[in-house]
A and B are shown apart, each in its own frame.
Chain A
Amino acid sequence: MKKAKKKKIIYIILAIIILEAAVSVGLNYELQIGRVDGKFVVRNVKSKESIKERIDEEFQSDTIVKIAGRFPVNWNVIKVILAVDLLIILFGFFVYKNVKLIPTKIQIIAEDLYTFFRTIVTDTIGEEKVHFTPYIATIFIFIELCNIIGLIPIPGNMEPTRNLNVTLGLGTMAIVLVHFFAIKEKGLFPYLKEFAEPVFLIAPINIISEFGNLISISFRLFGNILGGAIIILVISNLTRYILLPVGLNMFFGIFIGTIQAFVFTMLVLSYTAVAIK
């Protein structure tokens, strides 16, 4: 039984390596598999695009599509975000419809996630504010899925968080909600009075530091994911992308992606805790 499982894992890894090699396109080289002049070849050929053009693509991978002829959206990003949304909704729906006393595997995953975030929320904000759990867990699951969806080797598939607009949007949403919760909890005037603490003169610095929070959480997510993507692109080229890109993808996609998603979530939770206490 165990041996069969090991074999399965090895096959999966081999399939991933072959797929990676086939779709990963380097800076100045790309892999060519096929028949040339009656001979079967697997080799690297000089690609038509230079590294600069490729990395420029990473910076501005925009395909503007107008919805209903009026509202311009970046289809490259929106389609991946919609896929992530669909995954989350399907997961939630499936778990909700199949709740059993003896939990199935997928129910155990969902319950574990909920309990984990419930512990963190009650540790940070307090036992009576447990209703923040769904909000916090949703932020984590969304960013985590956005970060690791780039691992699936389909051409045109990229992490939405690699685009600064997405991370700035997430950060703005989080910070605006933090202030909304603060006003709801304390009332408008005590909330405004806190900006003038400890002296009235210091109010501009307090307001600037709120924008600092927004910039720092957005740029951290964006920079880490973009940096990882460009590192994979550069090193794949140097090693002629055999084997190493898979490990790098795992490191930057899973390890860094999960840590950044967790840190974003924790920071939003802690800003909320600071604001409402």
Chain B
Amino acid sequence: MEVSYYQLVSYLGAAFGVGLASIGAGFGEGYVAGEACHAMMKQPKARDHLLRTMLIAQALAETGAIFALLIALLILFGNVKEAANNLPDLISVFAAGLVMGLGCIGTGTGIGYTGGKACMGIGRNPRQTNLITRTLFVGAAVAESTAVYSLVIGLLLLFVA
């Protein structure tokens, strides 16, 4: 029987990538939404600001998972190393999925925590919405940098190594 090892590594890599990345993103976005609800309960007048901040924070927390989806789509549909027949090329496809999946657990959780605390802060002190949103942007973008490093390593594994 002719066995395609590429299919083996690509299915495993895509599954690990998106599956692991979803842990962080799901946890983080849920935390943001929970804190936003809590803040709305305390301060119903600020609900417009809170809804906006919540959606922005969730979009930021999801960026890592979108990168993971990108790597998975590239692995599955991109025909990147389909003709590969040696071990290093096959392993690099699996490693690209793994690095993106693991890399997003931390950033998703971390950005979610930042967004949640920002929502809580707006609920406590709605007058400082601009200041808090600014801090949220900077803090979340710095926390995201490790996901970007993972993306760079994943793309290098797929296309250069």
Q: Is B66's CB within 8 Å of the partner chain A?
A: yes
Q: Is B73's CB within 8 Å of the partner chain A?
A: yes
Q: Is A235's CB within 8 Å of the partner chain B?
A: yes
* Binary interface encoding of chain B residues 130-161 relative to chain A, with 1 for a CB under 8 A from any of its CBs, else 0: 00001001100110110011011001000110
Check if A52 sits within 8 Å of B141, measured CB to CB: no
Check if A256 sits within 8 Å of B149, measured CB to CB: no
Describe A's contact surface by its main secondary structure.
helix
* Binary interface encoding of chain A residues 259-274 relative to chain B, with 1 for a CB under 8 A from any of its CBs, else 0: 1101100110010000
Check if A227 sits within 8 Å of B79, measured CB to CB: no
Q: Is A135's CB within 8 Å of the partner chain B?
A: no
With A51-B80, A220-B148, A227-B67 known to touch, is A234 a contact of B74 (CB < 8 Å)? yes
- A28–B74 alpha-carbon span in the complex (Å): 12
With A51-B80, A234-B74 known to touch, is A223 a contact of B63 (CB < 8 Å)? no
Check if B152 sits within 8 Å of A219, measured CB to CB: yes
A-B contacts at CB below 8 angstroms, number: 77
Chain A residues positioned under 8 Å from B160 (CB to CB):
59
Chain B residues positioned under 8 Å from A230 (CB to CB):
70, 74, 155
Chain B residues positioned under 8 Å from A56 (CB to CB):
159
Task: Determine which of B74, B137, B155 lies in contact with A259 in the assembled complex, contact meaning CB atoms within 8 Å.
Answer: B137
Q: Is B59's CB within 8 Å of the partner chain A?
A: yes
Q: Is A76's CB within 8 Å of the partner chain B?
A: no
- A28–B82 alpha-carbon span in the complex (Å): 14
Chain A residue, CB-CB nearest to B135 = A266
Task: Determine which of A27, A55, A220, A231 lies in contact with B66 in the assembled complex, contact meaning CB atoms within 8 Å.
Answer: A231
Chain A residues positioned under 8 Å from B70 (CB to CB):
227, 230-231, 234
Q: Is A238's CB within 8 Å of the partner chain B?
A: yes
Chain B residues positioned under 8 Å from A259 (CB to CB):
60, 137, 141
Chain A residues positioned under 8 Å from B142 (CB to CB):
216, 220, 263, 267
Check if B134 sits within 8 Å of A266, measured CB to CB: yes
* Binary interface encoding of chain A residues 222-265 relative to chain B, with 1 for a CB under 8 A from any of its CBs, else 0: 11101100110011011000000000000000011001101100
Check if B137 sits within 8 Å of A219, measured CB to CB: no
- A56–B160 alpha-carbon span in the complex (Å): 9
Check if A263 sits within 8 Å of B80, measured CB to CB: no
Check if B145 sits within 8 Å of A216, measured CB to CB: yes
- A173–B144 alpha-carbon span in the complex (Å): 23
* Binary interface encoding of chain A residues 207-227 relative to chain B, with 1 for a CB under 8 A from any of its CBs, else 0: 000000000100110111011
Check if B141 sits within 8 Å of A220, measured CB to CB: yes
Check if B59 sits within 8 Å of A255, measured CB to CB: yes
Q: Is B78's CB within 8 Å of the partner chain A?
A: yes
With A231-B70, A234-B73 known to touch, is A52 a contact of B79 (CB < 8 Å)? yes
Check if A51 sits within 8 Å of B141, measured CB to CB: no
Check if B159 sits within 8 Å of A59, measured CB to CB: yes
- A50–B78 alpha-carbon span in the complex (Å): 9
Check if A220 sits within 8 Å of B138, measured CB to CB: no
With A220-B144, A230-B70, A263-B138 known to touch, is A51 a contact of B78 (CB < 8 Å)? yes
- A168–B148 alpha-carbon span in the complex (Å): 15
- A237–B82 alpha-carbon span in the complex (Å): 18
- A226–B156 alpha-carbon span in the complex (Å): 12
Task: Determine which of B67, B78, B137, B149 lies in contact with A263 in the assembled complex, contact meaning CB atoms within 8 Å.
Answer: B137
Chain A residues positioned under 8 Å from B148 (CB to CB):
219-220, 222-224, 227
B-to-A contact residues, CB < 8 Å: 59-60, 63, 66-67, 70, 73-74, 77-80, 134, 137-138, 141-142, 144-145, 148-149, 151-152, 155, 159-160
Q: List 29 A-B contacts (CB under 8 A).
A: A50-B79, A52-B79, A52-B80, A55-B78, A59-B160, A216-B142, A216-B145, A220-B148, A222-B148, A223-B152, A224-B63, A224-B148, A227-B67, A227-B148, A230-B70, A231-B66, A231-B67, A234-B77, A234-B78, A235-B73, A238-B77, A255-B59, A259-B137, A262-B137, A263-B141, A263-B142, A267-B138, A267-B142, A270-B138
In the complex, besides A52-B159, A222-B152, A223-B148, 12 extra interface pairs with C-beta distance below 8 angstroms are: A55-B78, A56-B159, A59-B155, A59-B159, A231-B67, A234-B70, A238-B77, A259-B60, A262-B137, A263-B141, A266-B137, A267-B138
